Amino acid sequence: MANTDLYNYILGIADNSLILGQRLGELCGHGPNLETDIALTNISLDLIGQTRSYYQYAASFSEEYKTEDDIAFLRLEREYRNVLLVEQPNTHFGFVIGRQYLFDVYHYMLMDELQNTKDDTLQAIARKCIKEVSYHKRFSGDWLKRLGDGTEESHQKMQEAINGLWRFTNELFELTESEDAMIKAGIGVDVSKMKEHYYAEVSLLLNEATLQVPERKNFTSGGKKGTHTEHFGYILSELQYMQRTFPNMTW
């Protein structure tokens, strides 16, 4: 087993949490009410905390980056392996909740399966993370139902968000070469096998929220291979500003 495959596999998981955490961090102080604002901020902190655990492990055998900060802040855009879904902007609150829920269902399934990995470190991280991810999924799911089955305006905006974000969901289940190598090594999770269960669960909740399941056959992908949307450069400019401006800064 090559360390490169394990390194890339870890980034494929961790970068999702990093970028989504950064997106949610943008909302601090801008939530619809105080309780929801605090909840979204706490979810952001959960995701960043998870990211640290992954990056610390990856840095322990990385040939290029020595610390978790190096991995988070010193990579170029095409070196990030997050899916396109998590980098989509906070267009309005419906998009925030839709993006969160569509990722949370996948994230929970992934952590549930990753607890069975042969890699002791990833197993420990998954067992810790799944408690947080379970809350994230419950929070976003409850809000999706509240908005979808709420007022005429909230229903319209929630449907708009789901329609706009749906095209990014299929990438969650596409396998990269590193994922395939880790599956064969007994370390990685075969996310392609989760696809049917994922869409069944999401569709059930959308129906409960009186929302239409989008009928889309054409999906957008590329993030797992380092090809991102136009939004990603702006995320990195904010995320990496301090480390790029003041090199080797430590807390």
Cβ(100)–Cβ(168) under 8 Å? Answer: no
Q: What is the mean pLDDT of the chain?
A: 94
CA 92/CA 223 separation, integer angstroms: 23
**3-245, what's its fold?**
Ferritin (1.20.1260)
As a whole number, mean pLDDT of residues 42-49 equals 96
Report whether pLDDT(132) > 80: yes
Rounded to the nearest 10°, the torsion over CA 100, 169, 201, 153 is: 60
Other beta carbons within 10 angstroms of residue 5's beta carbon come to: 20
Alpha helices in 93-119 (DSSP H): 93-114
Report whether pLDDT(174) > 80: yes
As a whole number, mean pLDDT of residues 214-218 equals 86
Cα atoms in the Cβ-side hemisphere of radius 13 Å centred on 176: 25
pTM: 0.95
Q: Which two tokens stand for residue 216?
A: 């889309």
Residues 6+ apart with CB under 8 A from 157: 92, 93, 94, 147
Rounded to the nearest 10°, the torsion over CA 60, 9, 199, 97 is: 50
Helix axes 120-148, 93-114, angle to 10 degrees: 150
How high is the pLDDT of residue 8? 95
How high is the pLDDT of residue 251? 57
Q: Which two tokens stand for residue 175?
A: 């396998």
